[in-house]
């Protein structure tokens, strides 16, 4: 009741101030009237009585002020007055207002955009109930890095672990959807029946998988994403209960996921089917390959650490009922990482670097605006002193200056949201492949909240120094505008701010420079083959049309034949895995001459099953021996090729030709040995920057199976990309039902492998250039302010015989000394700050002298330019005019 | 008489206003007059303080106000105690009584 009354009365007074004032005036007049009558009744003359009454009641204005000082509406009223005043001040000085607002919009916008990208990945929890209890289990690779697990491991863990409410296992699946429109290869997952339940989600329509679905020979059932239903089935939810054709088999659709469901482990996945693997499978089967992921939900009371200890205990205590092959013996232990960290792990270094960069940019923007505000409040000393003299309190002055800066920040923040919108669009367009949770990036409520918080904070921050200055100015009782004859001393704050700006800009420039040099170095790395004029695409045998390996091989050979006849094709071949693509396929090995202590523990080598002509098509050099030829026949000595690095590792300087080895499932068995017939050059598989180059090559049709997904590599005589349509037609001329995927030139593929670094580079470079511009504006602002203040001094100097060159030097020296101090401080900062981007650097030290030198030259050049304009103005000062004006 | 202090004791103005209004609704001048009469001229209310205090008490929700015709056909703002105002008056009266008793005891002990 009372609160309501406070609110309504306050609002009424706020909006109808005149009415409230009038009421008070009426009441006072009534009082005066009555008092006058009382005096008259006591015998005073009417005019004397009225004067006495007025005297007694007192000053109407004072009373009004006392009444107004009460109630919340009073401070609102003051705020509105302050705001009006601030708006007037900004409009009176549009140049200052525009520069400040744009600077703040840039800073706030960039920060908000980066926050919106970082928030879903690093900060907010995953979109599942109690997502903090979800963890990813992985095998530990030889170097300690996480590695996919085997299904056998999952079988054992599920039976033995107690720390988990539920465990689920996932395998990649890429079924080809046929029967409707054009054939399409979908991204899917085969999952244990527990998968969706482990995440804590369920289909929007239809049912989840159950244990009866997930058994060997179980039913062909699938759950679809809402996205796929929209795209391929017109959003018709009645798809549930109907059948779709996948890989030439009929699958019953049993459910559709909700629109909001995000499959964070593999965001592009549109279809799920039960895994249906064998719980007890022989070691040489796919169930014992490292290509599964395990996701688990911890019991409520269990921490990740306790789960880790239990896993270690289980890992080091094998049971006879759970036999383990050597490549999955869990001896190195298993890794447990919270799901959120696991999916963000790859993106983290880039994101941290970018967050750091944007904070530096924001700091520079703040410093710049603070600088402008300080300059203005210096001009307003007289005004502040006058207001103090008229009775304004220090708090009141402080509040007014802060109102101004918060208003600036507010307008900047609104524009900043526009900047952020553009920025988010650019970030998504630029984002490197594999950036997690990209669908969750956007301007949502938390982002708006963040922008509001940043804006307010910055408004207060940039206003603080000028506000304190203003309050102090009030204490100096210099109503009679201090004379400006002294030039030095003043503006120490402004100079310190400029130095800060230069230092921060230097840090960003060094970061951008180092990344630029890294990319340069990276692209200078030889991939081990000739990438130019090389067109690649995946050709896929989707189903049962080529049921046997022989039929499949014949199909691929016919395809290759057709492609080779396309005009413009110089050479063509097929490979089971394509260098620098996402393909990664490795197997263990053993050599007859250098027996391992434990077979299979030598590590693994990349397996390439290649069609004839692969090495010449790719331009991979033969180092020793010979390539495959038509005389290689199945049976007896199977010929293989190995890579240079593997040859060196196993044979040193000895000749590996004629040596015998076993690879993959043969390892440790008593199958016949393969014979090494040649050594070829090393090829980068995972990335130009890292990854092993140990590899072995077998001719197509000589491996345990013929892969149903092959990469076609085509060396062209002209532009590679232009040939893609005719190559596709050639493939379809053999069989029109074959999906073709991942059509890309090798040049584009190489650029893509560096996409994370390129992303970081583009973003940080943009920030660095913005920072450079802001720093230049800062230097220019301080110097031209100082020149204006020193007009008289400069006039005196030139009257006393200083040449234009002297004056020019005087001003430029003043500016450049600030730059030099800033550079020195910035160098210190850069040496520390570049630690943050160390993992993104390649082939260049974070203290690379060339980068630092280049950045210093650039910064010096730009600040020289910023000094020159005010200096030039100073040099043209006419002493007669300046001296006369005093 | 001239040097006799007629100021209302600091902090008691609110209580005096509330008490006066608890008898009947009144306008500002009436309140001042009544306080003077009842206190037999010991207290003289400063009109400025009174009018400001009335605004404040009204905002606090202890008083309601209404513009009404007076008996001699003039418009005046009449104040009236609200329910919350009655409670407040009880509180302040109790508090005052307690203090006066304490002060009186102290003075007696002194003598």
User: A271-316, pLDDT tens digit by residue?
Assistant: 999 999 988 888 877 788 888 999 999 999 898 899 999 998 998 8
Q: What is the spatial distance between Cα A395 and Cα A470, in angstroms, rounded to a whole number?
A: 10
pLDDT of B3 > 70? The answer is no
For the ranges A585-589, A602-606, A715-719, B73-77, the maximum mean pLDDT occurs at A715-719
Q: For A413-423, what is each residue's pLDDT tens digit?
A: 999 999 999 99
Q: Which of B29, B56, B60 sits opposite A31 (nearest CB)?
A: B29
Contact A148, A294 (CB under 8 A): no
> Of the candidates A1, A9, A67, which has its C-beta nearest B52's C-beta?
A67
Cα Rg of chain B (Å, integer): 16
Q: Measure the CA angle with vertex A850, ends A844 and A851; round to 5°.
A: 70
Least-confidence region, from A354-358, A835-839, B69-73: B69-73
**In this complex, is the C-beta atom of A71 within 8 Å of any C-beta atom belonging to chain B?**
yes
CB contact under 8 A, A23 and B51: no
**B2 falls in which pLDDT band (50, 70, 90)?**
very low
Chain B residues in contact with A26 (beta carbon < 8 A): 75, 77
| pLDDT band at residue A471 under the 50/70/90 scheme | low
Please give the residue that has the higher pLDDT: either A621 or A22.
A621
Residue A860 CA to residue A161 CA, distance in Å, equals 63
Report whether A334 contacts A315 (CB < 8 A): yes
Residue B53: closest C-alpha in chain A = A67
A319 contacts: CB under 8 Å, gap ≥ 6? A156, A160
- Comparing alpha-carbon positions, the chain B residue that sits nearest to A35 is B29
CA distance A662 to A668: 8
Given this model, what pLDDT does residue B1 score?
A: 41
Q: Measured between CA atoms, how close is A5 to chain B, in angstroms? A: 7
Average pLDDT score over chain A:
85
Q: What is the mean pLDDT of residues A72-90?
A: 82
Q: Residue B22 belongs to what H/E stretch?
A: helix B13-23
Q: How far apart are CA A299 and CA A297, in angstroms?
A: 7
Tell how far CA A679 is from the center of its chain: 42
Each residue of A313-343: b (16+ CB within 10 Å) or e?
Answer: ebbeeeeeeeebbebbbbeeebbbbbbbebb
Which of A1, A3, A4, A5 has the highest number of chain B CBs within 10 A, making it the mutation to test binding with B?
Answer: A5
Distance between CA atoms of A863 and A771, rounded to whole angstroms?
A: 12
User: What is the arithmetic mean of pLDDT over A613-626?
Assistant: 93
Cβ atoms of residues A667 and A588 within 8 Å:
yes
Q: Are B54 and B28 in contact (CB under 8 A)?
A: yes
Does B48 contact A23 at a Cβ distance shorter than 8 Å?
no
- At residue A634, the pLDDT reads 58
Determine the distance in angstroms separating the CA of A370 from the nearest CA of chain B, rounded to an integer. 41
Specify the pLDDT at position A226: 94
- In a 13 Å sphere around the CA of A600, the CA atoms on its Cβ side amount to 14
What is the DSSP code (8-state) at residue A577? S
What are the structure tokens assigned to B100, written together?
């006066």
Would the CB atoms of B74 and A62 count as touching at under 8 Å? no
Average pLDDT (B28-33) is: 89
Q: How many CB atoms lie within 10 A of CB A260?
A: 9
List Cβ neighbours of A671 (8 Å cut-off, separation of 6 or more). A662
**Does the distance separating the beta carbons of A5 and B77 come in below 8 Å?**
no
pLDDT band for position A803 (cuts 50, 70, 90) = confident
Reduce the DSSP state of residue A164 to 3 states and report it: strand
| DSSP characters over A128-148 | STTGGGEEEEEEE-TTS-EE-
Distance CA A89, CA A373 (A): 12
Tens digit of pLDDT for each residue in A29-53? 888 888 888 889 888 898 898 898 8
Reported in sequence order, the residue ranges of A18-162 that DSSP labels E, i.e. its strands, are: 134-140, 146-147
Distance of residue A122 Cα from the nearest chain B Cα, in angstroms: 50
Contacts of B71 in chain A (CB under 8 A): none
Q: Is B92 in contact with B53 (CB distance < 8 Å)?
A: no
- Three-class DSSP category at A853: helix
Q: pLDDT of A228-280, one tens digit each? A: 999 888 888 889 999 998 887 899 999 999 999 999 888 889 999 999 998 88
Q: DSSP character for A127?
A: S
**Alpha carbon distance A734, A541 (integer Å):** 12
Mean pLDDT value across residues A680-692: 87
What pLDDT does residue A1 have?
46
pLDDT tens string A518-556? 988 888 888 999 999 999 999 887 666 677 888 888 889
CB-based contact A112:A105 (threshold 8 Å): no
Give CA–CA dist A75/A70, Å, rounded: 9
Angle formed by the axes of helices A17-41 and B28-38, nearest 10°: 40
Residues A753, A405: Cα–Cα separation, whole Å = 45
Of B29, B46, B55, the CB nearest to A35: B29
Is residue A161 scored above 50 in pLDDT? yes
């Amino acid at each position: 009741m009372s609160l309501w009354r406070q609110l309504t009365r306050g609002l009424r007074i706020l909006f109808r101030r005149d009415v409230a004032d009038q009421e008070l005036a009426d009441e006072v007049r009534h009082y005066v009237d009555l008092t006058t009558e009382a005096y008259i009744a006591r015998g005073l003359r009417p005019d004397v009585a009225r004067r006495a009454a007025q005297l007694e009641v007192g000053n109407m204005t004072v009373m009004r002020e006392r009444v107004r000082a009460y109630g919340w509406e009073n401070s609102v009223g003051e705020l509105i007055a302050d705001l009006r005043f601030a708006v007037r001040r900004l409009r009176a000085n549009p140049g200052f207002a525009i520069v400040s607002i744009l600077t703040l919009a840039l800073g706030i916008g960039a920060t908000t955009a980066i926050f919106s990208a970082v928030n879903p990945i690093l900060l907010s929890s995953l979109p599942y109930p109690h997502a903090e209890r979800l963890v990813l289990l992985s095998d530990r690779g030889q170097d300690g890095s996480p590695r996919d697990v085997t299904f056998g491991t999952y079988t054992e863990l599920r039976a033995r672990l107690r720390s988990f409410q539920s465990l689920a296992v996932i395998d990649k699946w890429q079924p080809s959807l046929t029967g409707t429109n054009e054939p399409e290869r979908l991204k899917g997952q085969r999952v244990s029946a527990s998968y969706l339940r482990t995440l804590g989600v369920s289909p929007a329509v239809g049912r989840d998988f159950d244990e009866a679905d997930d058994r060997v020979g179980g039913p062909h059932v699938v759950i679809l994403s809402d996205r796929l239903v929209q795209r391929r089935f017109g959003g018709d939810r009645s798809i549930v209960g109907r059948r779709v054709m996948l890989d030439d088999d009929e699958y019953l659709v049993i459910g559709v996921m909700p629109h909001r469901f995000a499959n964070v482990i593999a965001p592009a996945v549109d279809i799920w089917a039960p895994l249906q693997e064998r719980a007890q499978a022989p070691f040489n089967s796919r169930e014992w390959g490292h290509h599964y992921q395990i996701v688990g939900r911890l019991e409520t009371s269990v921490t990740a650490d306790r789960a880790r200890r239990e896993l270690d205990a289980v890992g080091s205590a094998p049971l006879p009922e759970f036999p383990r092959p050597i490549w999955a013996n869990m001896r190195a232990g298993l890794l447990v990482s919270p799901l959120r960290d696991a999916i963000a792990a790859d993106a983290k270094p880039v994101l941290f670097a970018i967050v750091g960069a944007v904070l530096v940019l924001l700091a520079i923007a703040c410093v710049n605006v603070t600088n402008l505000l300080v300059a203005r409040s210096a001009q307003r000393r007289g005004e502040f002193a006058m207001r103090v003299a008229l009775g304004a309190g220090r708090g009141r002055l402080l509040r007014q200056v802060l109102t101004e800066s918060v208003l600036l920040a507010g307008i900047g923040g609104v524009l900043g949201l526009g900047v952020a919108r553009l920025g988010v669009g650019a970030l998504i367009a630029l984002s490197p492949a594999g950036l997690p949770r990209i669908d969750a990036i956007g301007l949502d409520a938390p982002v708006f909240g963040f922008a509001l918080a940043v804006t307010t904070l910055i408004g207060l921050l940039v206003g603080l120094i000028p506000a304190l200055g203003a309050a102090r100015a009030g204490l100096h009782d210099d109503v009679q505008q201090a004379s400006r004859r002294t030039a030095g001393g003043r503006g120490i704050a402004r100079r310190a701010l400029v130095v800060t700006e230069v230092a921060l800009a230097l840090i960003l420039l060094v970061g951008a420079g180092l990344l630029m040099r890294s990319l340069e170095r990276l692209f200078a790395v030889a991939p081990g083959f000739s990438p130019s004029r090389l067109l690649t695409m995946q050709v896929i045998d989707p189903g049962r049309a080529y049921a046997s390996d022989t039929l499949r091989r014949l199909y691929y050979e016919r395809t290759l034949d057709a492609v080779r006849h396309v005009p413009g094709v110089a050479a063509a071949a097929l490979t089971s895995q394509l260098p620098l693509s996402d393909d990664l396929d490795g197997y263990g090995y053993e050599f007859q001459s250098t027996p391992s202590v434990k077979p299979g523990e030598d590590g693994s080598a990349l397996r390439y099953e290649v069609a004839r002509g692969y090495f010449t098509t790719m331009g991979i050099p033969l180092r020793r021996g010979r390539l495959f030829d038509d005389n290689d026949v199945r049976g007896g000595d199977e010929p293989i090729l190995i890579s240079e690095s593997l040859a060196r590792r196993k044979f040193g300087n000895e000749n590996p030709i004629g040596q015998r080895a076993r690879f993959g499932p043969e390892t440790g068995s008593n199958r016949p040995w393969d014979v090494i017939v040649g050594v070829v050059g090393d090829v980068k598989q995972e990335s130009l920057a890292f990854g092993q180059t140990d590899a072995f090559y077998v001719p197509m049709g000589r491996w345990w199976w013929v892969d149903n997904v092959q990469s076609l590599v085509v060396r062209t005589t002209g532009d590679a990309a232009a040939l893609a349509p005719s190559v596709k037609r050639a493939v379809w001329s053999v069989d029109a039902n074959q999906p073709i995927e991942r059509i890309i030139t090798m040049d584009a593929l190489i650029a893509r492998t560096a996409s994370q670094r390129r992303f970081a580079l583009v973003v940080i470079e943009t920030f660095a250039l913005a920072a450079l511009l802001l720093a230049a504006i800062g230097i220019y602002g301080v110097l031209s302010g100082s020149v204006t203040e020193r007009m008289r001094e400069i006039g005196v100097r030139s009257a006393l015989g200083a040449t234009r060159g002297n004056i020019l030097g005087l001003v430029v020296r003043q500016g450049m000394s600030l730059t030099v101090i800033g550079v020195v401080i910035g160098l210190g900062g850069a040496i520390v700050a570049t630690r943050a981007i160390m993992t993104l650097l390649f082939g260049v030290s974070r203290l690379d002298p060339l980068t630092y030198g280049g950045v210093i030259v650039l910064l010096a050049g730009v600040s020289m330019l910023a000094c020159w304009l005010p200096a030039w103005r100073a040099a043209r000062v006419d002493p007669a005019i300046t001296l006369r004006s005093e | 008489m001239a040097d006799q202090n007629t100021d209302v004791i600091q902090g008691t103005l609110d209580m005096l206003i509330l008490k006066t209004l608890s008898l009947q609704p009144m306008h500002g001048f009436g309140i001042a007059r009544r306080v003077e009469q009842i206190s037999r001229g010991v207290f003289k209310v400063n009109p400025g303080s009174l009018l400001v205090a009335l605004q404040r008490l009204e905002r606090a929700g202890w008083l309601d106000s209404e513009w009404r015709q007076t008996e001699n056909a003039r418009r005046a703002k009449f104040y009236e105690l609200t329910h919350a105002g009655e409670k407040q008056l009880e509180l302040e009266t109790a508090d005052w009584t307690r203090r006066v008793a304490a002060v009186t005891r102290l003075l007696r002990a002194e003598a």
